[in-house]
Amino acid sequence: MYLKKMFLPTLKEAPADAEVASHRLMMRAGMIRKVAAGVYNLLPLGLRVIHKVERIVREEMTGAGAQEVAMPMVLPAELWKESGRWDIYGKELLRLKDRHEREFCLGPTHEEAITDMVRRDVRSYRQLPLNLYQIQTKFRDEIRPRFGLMRGREFIMKDAYSFHATDESAEEEYRNMYGTYSRIFERCGLYFRAVEAETGPIGGSFSHEFMVLADTGEDSIVSCNTCSYAANIERAGIRPPDGASLPLTGAKGIEKVSTPGMKTVEEVSGFLNVPPERLIKTLIYRTGKGVIAALVRGDFDINEAKLKRVLGADTFALADEKTVKEMTGADVGFAGPVGLKIPVYADFSVRDMRDGVTGANEKDAHIINVIPQRDFSAGYGDLRKARQGDPCPRCAGALEIKKGIEVGHIFKLGTKYSEAMGATFLDEKGVERPVIMGCYGIGIGRCAAAAVEQNHDENGIIWPIPLAPFHCHIVPVNVNDKDTMKAAEQIYSSLTAKGYEVLLDDRDERAGVKFKDADLIGVPVRITVSSKTLKQGSVEIKERSKEGARLVRIEDTVKDVGTLLEG
RNA sequence: CGGGGCGUAGCGCAGUCCGGCAGCGCACCUGCUUUGGGAGCAGGGGGUCGGAGGUUCGAAUCCUCUCGCCCCGACCA
């Protein structure tokens, strides 16, 4: 491609709203342009990168036995009502009506659509297993889209769904996809980790997220410094304390103290001069199973995802002030487990406390010398949010917390959708059963953005070769010099003939401008052609990822480039 | 949804407090010079100042309403 003909508008400055490197650089490199909040145009250079990611995904998915399909982006409400998600998916689901006032939505994910597709034609276990995928534009009306392609409202996703007659088959496919995903992200040149994850509104029994490690990531991931344990922070377990209770003898009885206006852990801790780890924090939640209290040590935080899972509640939220007052008899800030009439769930960190301090369920009062198991009873579990250095749930190691970008997610769904929507088959014995499902997603645009996030410097993008929009970038220093242009065009032709994708900067610009743009765009190999080096029969070859250029004989250029690109 | 902020040329911004010719840098067009890391000089084009209404002799500037965007929080494959 000759640059003069290409629609490649680069920018010296990025728009003020571009905060992270990938967003700034993709804007500046002329890859993307914003159309509305979280909605982007893909310009030629950007689309080339997206196509590279898609190609890798297609090759690996096909290689793993999956088949590509295409489903509509506009989906009828009936399907979503059948699964029950029309009412629970919330405002992220963009709903619309057609001219006949029939309800539709823009597909944020396609479990309903694919289950409908399969139930129409799958009758027998002989037709299973099946893995179908598509690469398609999705729409989720995110509360706060940001970071360019990283978290758009409209985005390209590869979503695959598998259908099985048996659990074993579904789990085998889960492992197959786990391996496939690992290969895909390796081929994309991404530094990633697979972590155990929450299943969220998609549902299902277990799942892994594939996280690209980057400081700008929006997710926190927890990993063990000793064993291979890794999980999303929402999921991350913590090894409970050994449970050897301290002797109760000599302990004082509980005592009420006045704490006017002291509501937060910090206030109470400061006022009574006791460290936060001696406080018992009490949170009141309104759940599908009634109002409950959750306890955690004052310096820790409740992990709501874990609590929700322990409760098995479908709805779950912190209680409002009114509910708190009704249930505890006191304003928010003075709740405590002693004498409370609602079910109490406590984190292990509370179990072995001695001389604890907690709310008295009475305005402006706390009680001290509290001993769990003596002064109140509760169900104990691992309910708190993991912190740096917490003990690993699997081994004697310690947990570390890092930031990550979720680029892929695999779920074993089970029969949630097939049961709700009647996707059944007859097994060997002629018994009708719901198909067992799995689903597997990859954010295509997010992979491209994550690649930039991991591979850039102050001058621009440094594309990993498999995702690079072009393989090499020829810069004729002076396009008005006939010999220079002739040599540049010759190199262009021979590289193109070898199957490489080549960009030739034929603009009549100063060398500095072209070098700056070349660095910004980040094509892996740059070939500089100038009368200076042509006199010695050579050109300059520079790798974007390395400092310094080498002189190479013109006739060796193709071979040299080939070595760089193919290793 | 709560709190904060911003909408002025394609991009980055000043001007708004205190009403009085709509500006600067980059980008763009023309010419000359320059030509290995975002050139210099000269000339030029481009704006319903987000929108609507109001106050005023006069509004980018003051008032009311509205739309959009951004940040923090809550929320979330």
Domain ranges of chain A: 17-237+401-452, 255-381, 470-566
What tokens does A150 get?
């990283």
Among A387, A270, A413, A256, residue whose Cα is nearest residue A334: A256
Backbone angles phi, psi at A313, to 5 degrees: -90, 145
Confidence (pLDDT) at A491: 97
Interface predicted TM-score (ipTM)? 0.90
Could you state, in chain order, the average pLDDT of each consecutive group of 10 residues for chain A (567 residues)? Answer: 94 88 93 88 95 98 98 94 87 87 92 96 96 95 86 93 96 96 96 83 75 87 89 88 62 86 84 89 84 89 84 75 82 87 90 88 89 89 89 92 91 93 96 96 95 94 97 96 95 97 96 96 97 95 96 97 94
Q: Please, which residues have CB within 8 angstroms of residue A530's CB and are 6 or more apart in sequence?
A: A476, A477, A478, A484, A511, A540
Secondary structure of residue A548 in the 3-state scheme: coil
At residue A223, what is the residue type? S
The bridge status of strand A460-461 relative to strand A206-213 is unpaired
Gap from A156 CA to B52 C1', Å: 38
Task: Provide CATH code, domain A255-381.
Answer: 3.90.960.10
Taking CA atoms, A428 is separated from A115, A123, A212, A238, in Å, by 22, 12, 43, 44
Confidence (pLDDT) at A354: 83
The rounded distance, in Å, linking the Cα atoms of A148 and A241 is 43
- Of chain A, the end-to-end C-alpha distance in Å amounts to 24
Among A402, A399, A388, residue whose Cα is nearest residue A226: A399
Q: Is the CB of A14 under 7 A from strand B?
A: yes
The rounded distance, in Å, linking the Cα atoms of A410 and A442 is 9
- For the segment 197-216 of chain A, residues whose CB is within 7 A of strand B: 198-202, 209
Protein-covered nucleotides on strand B (Cβ within 7 A): 1, 11-13, 25-27, 34-39, 68-77
What tokens does A336 get?
């405590």
Q: Does CATH number 3.40.50.800 belong to domain A470-566?
A: yes
Q: How many CB atoms lie within 10 A of CB A183?
A: 14
Task: Provide CATH code, domain A17-237+401-452.
Answer: 3.30.930.10
Across the strands, what pairs with A97?
A: A103
The rounded distance, in Å, linking the Cα atoms of A220 and A507 is 45
- For the segment 458-517 of chain A, residues whose CB is within 7 A of strand B: 459, 477-478, 480, 510-513, 515-517
Gap from A518 CA to B22 C1', Å: 37
Confidence (pLDDT) at A486: 95
The rounded distance, in Å, linking the Cα atoms of A26 and A455 is 12
Helix (H) or strand (E) holding A447: helix A444-454
Confidence (pLDDT) at A516: 96
- For the segment 38-97 of chain A, residues whose CB is within 7 A of strand B: 38, 92
- For the segment 91-150 of chain A, residues whose CB is within 7 A of strand B: 92, 108-109, 138, 140, 143-147
DSSP one-letter string for A452-508 = HHHSEETTEE---GGG-S-SEEEEES-TT-HHHHHHHHHHHHHHHHTT--EEE----
